[in-house]
Chain A
Amino acid sequence: MAEKIIQFKVFRYKQGDPEPHYDTFMVTVNERTTVLDALETIRRDQDGTLTFRHSCHHASCGTCGMRVNGREVLACVTNVMELGTSEVTVEPLQNAPLISDLVVDMSGFYETYSQAHMPLIRESEYLTESEVAEGVPFHMRLESCLECGLCLSACPVVGTDPDYIGPATLAAVWRVVQEPRGEDPEALLAWIDSEQGCWRCHAAMECTEVCPSNVDPGGAIMALRGELTRRKIGRLFGKA
């Protein structure tokens, strides 16, 4: 298998440092090496203090979100050679407080996101031809959102205003509106029908671009706006 030596420029910060800096590591990669593989190699063989998060290694958990060559990705499925550069820059997600190296504080996000009350299980739109097994009401799957935070890092509005509800949460609200599953969509719509809610989006659609799980938060935000606009017009003509 072909091998290449790639230079990794990795963002470093430890508690107490006045400023972050970048460390350079040379790593031999092959055609199958992912950025996460490379980071683990660096930690194992070169610098045991490198801190980063990882879990499932197959884009299911959303834990390894970070920026590679300036773009938000899940490191576990980002192939190093396919990046096409001999130097690879690895940085933490933006718009979240920095804890250490590539690890950011996601708790602020979880706090907002949990207010959407989106159930984890949804009806599955796949397997429509296969018969549903006895005792099962319909085919089910997990919701698409991995809570990885890539969309929040990419969003220009989240960058300028921490109080913006944000694409992930807004997308979750849209899912509840589409399929309430026992939750209260009206209360959620009232919550996001605000300056900090769906109206704050400027249609950069960067969230949809970086989402690794087909959530299409941009589309969800616009769908929410469409729904709210329809209601406003309805109220206008309802009165007339």
Chain B
Amino acid sequence: MNTKRTGSWAGTLWILQALSGLLLILLLGTHMIVNHFVVEGGLRTYEDVVSYLSNPIVVVWEILFLIVVTFHAALGVRSILFDLGPKKTARTVINWGITVLGLLAVGYGVWLTFQIIG
């Protein structure tokens, strides 16, 4: 069977979007429950947040969640924009644009997390 790569990223990106989406059911599910329903009153006060983030597993989990949700959102927006049939230059701009925005979002989130812990 000839299974050479075609050189197109389209399929791989689609699969990653589907997988990240499924992963988010777990990550977003726990994120919502833990930040909305666990503490007395539901939402975490400043002190609750600090105590929550003192657990390194929590930090890893929340940062993983941030990365996966940003990835899924960025690919989603890219998909909507690409559906409009942009030309090659526009496609390159979109690809770079969402990559930069995505990295900024993740970077900001990680920075903020360590601000709070510190």
Contact = CB atoms under 8 A, between A and B. Distances in A.
B85 interface: yes
B96 interface: no
Contact of A161 (B1, B8, B11, B83): B83
Interface in B1-56: 1-6, 8, 10-15
B14 to A, nearest CB: 5
A199 B18 CA distance: 12
A223 to B, nearest CB: 14
Contact of B3 (A160, A194, A235): A235
B10 A197 contact: yes
Contact of B8 (A160, A193, A231): A193
A interface SS class: helix
B84 interface: yes
B61 interface: no
A162 B87 CA distance: 12
Nearest to B5: A235
Contact of A195 (B1, B2, B8, B15): B8
B3 to A, nearest CB: 5
Contacts of A228: 11
A190 B10 CA distance: 12
Contact of A229 (B8, B15, B83): B15
Contacts of B14: 199, 225
A143 B5 CA distance: 30
> How big is chain B's contact interface, by range?
10 to 19
Contact of B10 (A161, A189, A199, A238): A199
A141 interface: no
Interface residues of A, number: 22
Q: Which of B3, B10, B11, B83 has the most CB of A within 10 A?
A: B11
B6 A190 contact: yes
Contacts of B84: 160-161
Q: Which of A197, A199, A200 has the most CB of B within 10 A?
A: A199
B6 A193 contact: yes
Nearest to A195: B10
Interface in A54-75: none
B26 to A, nearest CB: 21
A214 B13 CA distance: 30
List 3 tightest A-B contacts by C-beta distance, closest first: A161-B85, A199-B10, A195-B10
Interface of A: 157, 160-163, 186, 189-190, 193-195, 197, 199-200, 225, 228-229, 231-232, 234-235, 238
30 contacts: A157-B83, A160-B84, A161-B83, A161-B84, A162-B85, A163-B85, A186-B2, A190-B4, A190-B6, A193-B10, A193-B11, A194-B6, A194-B8, A195-B8, A195-B10, A195-B82, A199-B10, A199-B11, A199-B13, A199-B14, A200-B83, A225-B11, A225-B14, A229-B11, A231-B1, A231-B3, A232-B12, A232-B15, A234-B3, A235-B5
Given A160-B83, A189-B6, A199-B11, 15 more contacts: A157-B83, A160-B85, A161-B84, A162-B85, A163-B85, A194-B6, A195-B10, A199-B10, A199-B13, A225-B11, A228-B11, A229-B15, A232-B11, A232-B12, A238-B3
